[in-house]
A and B are shown apart, each in its own frame.
Chain A
Amino acid sequence: MGDKNKKWFSLNLNRKVSNETTCGCGKSSGGCGSHNSNPIPNTDSKIKSIGGERTKDGFEQVFDVKMDRRTAFKKLTASLLIGAGAVSTSCSMLTGDETKEKAQIDWEEQFKGNYKLMTDDEKKGTVDRLMRSYELRTGKKINMSSKNANEDVLFGYAFNISKCQGYMDCVNACVEENNQDRDSQMQYIRIHEMKDGRGLDFGEADDNYYHEVPAEGHFYMGTQCFHCDNPPCVEVCPVQATWREDDGLVVVDYDWCVGCRYCMAACPYDGRRFNWKKPEVPEAEINHNQHYLGNRMRKKGVMEKCTFCVQRSRAGKNPACVEACPTGARIFGNLLDPNSTIRWVLENKKVFRLKEDLGTEPKFWYFMD
């Protein structure tokens, strides 16, 4: 987002004059190594920066590049361990075609590139592989999308503190929609129960209550990932496994994440969750309508977070929390559409955001009736 396209107020703290890339180094020369994603179709395969991620698919991003002997050796050792297993399976005479195909998919998935840097074809390729892999493993079909951000869309969210009664329907809907680990009860949304007369005192609030709501003398306030316009979590990621999409969603490539949890330490809003163990969702409860960047099944040791239900929002629907809320406290929409409800709220209500002093520019506003 260049400053000139902006249609909402911002503090302009920490904001660099950007050139339509998500990189924050302020240069366009590509020296920082994070510019190779911009306008993707670059068919001249001779011009490459990092390993030629621009034009090649999957593990070709990694392997089909000009390299000297040293790099080749480096890559060989890196892949040897994982490769050995896959090769031994795929070469065995006793295994069937399906096992071979599975091994092939595992191999390609292990060495595919960063989703952020893939072309649309490559994105489709990995999504197809993941769908096929799921079918081979469970015999069931899923539908996974790799839909990119729509033009002229910037998602925003507003939360009406006066309306929320703390029913937590949003939390349950979110868990079901996004295939979160049931065992550890991972939840993207936290509802804080606050005491009347104490203002917004998060320290006194309880975000883990088990009693009938609305409780006498309390009011409720929900938090989740605020999809900051200047997200600190994105800056700190050492491998660019998390980034801000063009429609403002801050997403994670679960397959690229190395699990260092630096983004978690950097987030001032408790917006990120980590898979401390292998996430488990009973087969019957799995939501089969998935998006690569959204609710597809995660593995252990990677970060995940609220994506404003990218699988729904990019298909023109509201996120699950908005749809589930029985009080109408949650409002979601396109900030660039002057006729949207969210714009109406921003223009007619006294809205505020949390920790504005940090310069993170959340796209999540609170207001009261």
Chain B
Amino acid sequence: MGRLKVFKSLVKDSLDVITHGSLRYHIWMASLTLIMLIGMYCYSIQLEEGLSVTGMTDRVSWGLYISNFTFLVGVAAAAVMLVMPTYVLKDIDFKQAVLIGEGLAVAALIMCLAFVVADMGGPSVLWHMIPGIGVFNFPNSMLTWDVIVLNGYLFLNITIPFYILFRHYQGKEAKSKVYVPGAILSVFWAVGIHLVTAFLYQGLQARPFWNNALLGPRFLASAFAAGPALIILVLAIIRNFSAFNIQDKTIKKIALVVTVAAQINLIMLVSELFKEFYAPTHHSESAYYLFFGLHGKTALLPWIWTAIPLNVLATVLLTFHKLRNNFKILYLSCFMLFIAIWIEKGFGLIVPGFIPGPYGKIAEYTPTGIEIGVTLGIWALGAFVFTILAKTAINIELGKIKFKK
């Protein structure tokens, strides 16, 4: 009963915290709410009319939703880069950042699930997928694996920080015996979610662009670059707008993680490009379409040729210690890297998989306004969830809200 009382008080206190703030904070939350409402309106049109209101067709049957889903799985997995040093290697410098990283993972996973639901043709029969009452095609379908790992990871990333914050809220130290096993599990689990998501595509012999052994490892490398890059940007904002003290050396250490991952990612990109273009086969056509266009169809060129230079430039900037240790340049590089990988691991990965089609048909894909509206709405949802989680966590950590007996 005692715990329940504490929980009740925690909920009450956190509600109090998230509904109060500066004018800036209120404007931020209000605009997120507005975007979410617009997204919901767009989704209601999609529910009514069917997926025909999107740009997807029988030729390109996955688009913006699945692209964002794929990318966000990477962002979620990136929390491991903070969890591992803090809980497993006991690096004190990461301690402040790790809760933020886990909050980001939760927000990213919620977005992932929202994108998958938005992409479904029949969301009202999704219960067919619930093990026990539906038919769960495990282990044959990689999609069922993905459902398991994503929900499992979501569970881990909610419970571990919740336990720690719950203890701190009561003014007690969190017992490492309780949460460290979970943290270690989540390290492996994070690698799992991204590999499984890669296998989703990698296992399709029908799509040579995806059916490629490097896909999984490259997913990991790009995820460990883009995710921590986003965490750096978020920490920079939090440092600016709250009393939460994040030290320079924390950010510098995360920047090192980003740098190494971005370098490995670039090496793998070179390897991929070499394979596709040195001795091009019939199976290289998708890559040709992505980078140079095929038969005058060039819809993806502006995207990929934005992504590649940004990626290379950011990686080069990060590589030099002097430049990386300059925070302005660091933030700029992180932003560039994030955008580059969003394009590359989203649009640049999903759409060319379908072009050319199984019989060489080239039909291009352009998202519609409704699709973009739903997508922005889901991103706003993620930002909203993250803001709530982060604000509560920061206030508990700062000792501003405490359980009063």
Contacts and interface: CB of A to CB of B under 8 A. Distances in A.
Given A235-B141, A240-B135, A260-B119, A300 B50 contact: yes
A117 interface: yes
10 contacts: A32-B140, A114-B135, A205-B359, A207-B359, A256-B125, A257-B121, A257-B122, A258-B125, A274-B51, A300-B121
A265 B128 contact: no
A238 B147 contact: yes
A236 B124 contact: no
Contact of A270 (B54, B119, B357): B357
Given A192-B359, A205-B360, A264-B61, A51 B122 contact: no
B133 interface: yes
Contact of B132 (A50, A235, A268, A302): A50
Nearest to A254: B122
Interface stretch (B159-167, B189-197, B201-209, B234-242): B201-209
Contacts of A136: none
B225 to A, nearest CB: 26
B288 to A, nearest CB: 12
A171 to B, nearest CB: 15
A270 B62 contact: no
B120 interface: yes
Most A Cβ at <10 Å: residue of B122, B139, B285, B357: B122
B130 interface: yes
A341 interface: no
Given A268-B206, A273-B58, A274-B121, A236 B50 contact: no
B141 A202 contact: no
B5 to A, nearest CB: 24
Contacts of B204: 232, 236, 265-266
Given A236-B142, A265-B204, 9 more contacts: A25-B139, A33-B131, A53-B135, A238-B147, A257-B121, A277-B50, A278-B50, A303-B121, A359-B205
Most B Cβ at <10 Å: residue of A25, A78, A236, A270: A236
Contacts of A78: 127, 130, 133
Nearest to A201: B360
Contacts of B352: none
A299 B125 CA distance: 13
Contacts of B137: 33-34, 237-240
A345 B355 CA distance: 35
B181 interface: no
B303 interface: no
A91 B18 CA distance: 43
A267 interface: yes
Interface string B112-153: 000010011110111111111111111111111001000000
A75 B133 CA distance: 8
B50 A262 contact: no
B247 interface: no
B166 to A, nearest CB: 23
Given A238-B141, A275-B121, A265 B206 contact: yes
B135 A50 contact: yes
Interface of B: 49-52, 54, 56-58, 61-62, 116, 119-122, 124-144, 147, 200-201, 203-207, 285, 353-354, 356-361
A207 B359 CA distance: 9
A164 to B, nearest CB: 16
A7 to B, nearest CB: 26
Nearest to B208: A268
Contact of B135 (A33, A202, A275): A33
A277 B51 CA distance: 6
Given A23-B140, A265-B61, A274-B61, A301 B359 contact: no
Most B Cβ at <10 Å: residue of A255, A257, A264, A265: A265
Contacts of A260: 116, 119-121, 143
A62 interface: yes
For the complex of A and B, list the 8 residue pairs with the smallest distance between their C-beta atoms, beginning with the closest.
A259-B121, A301-B121, A268-B206, A203-B360, A276-B52, A277-B52, A300-B50, A238-B143
Given A32-B139, A232-B205, A257-B121, A239 B134 contact: yes
Contacts of A50: 131-132, 135-136
B360 A202 contact: yes
Contacts of A270: 357-359, 361
A261 interface: yes
Nearest to A235: B140
Contacts of B201: 265
B126 A258 contact: yes
A289 interface: no
Contacts of B129: 238-239, 258
A192 B286 CA distance: 21
A352 interface: no
A82 B141 contact: no
B140 A239 contact: no
Contacts of B50: 275-278, 300-301
A71 B133 contact: yes
A190 B359 contact: yes
Contact of A301 (B62, B122, B285): B122
Contacts of A300: 50-51, 121
Interface string A106-135: 000010001001000000000000000000
A202 B127 CA distance: 40
Interface in A57-78: 62, 71, 74-75, 78
B302 to A, nearest CB: 25
A302 B138 CA distance: 21
A267 B206 contact: yes
A360 B204 CA distance: 12
B122 A262 contact: no
A252 to B, nearest CB: 12
A344 interface: no
Contacts of A114: 128, 135
Contacts of A272: 58
Contact of A261 (B121, B132, B144, B360): B121
A255 B127 CA distance: 12
A363 B147 CA distance: 33
A33 B132 CA distance: 10
B56 A276 contact: yes
A33 B121 contact: no
A213 interface: no
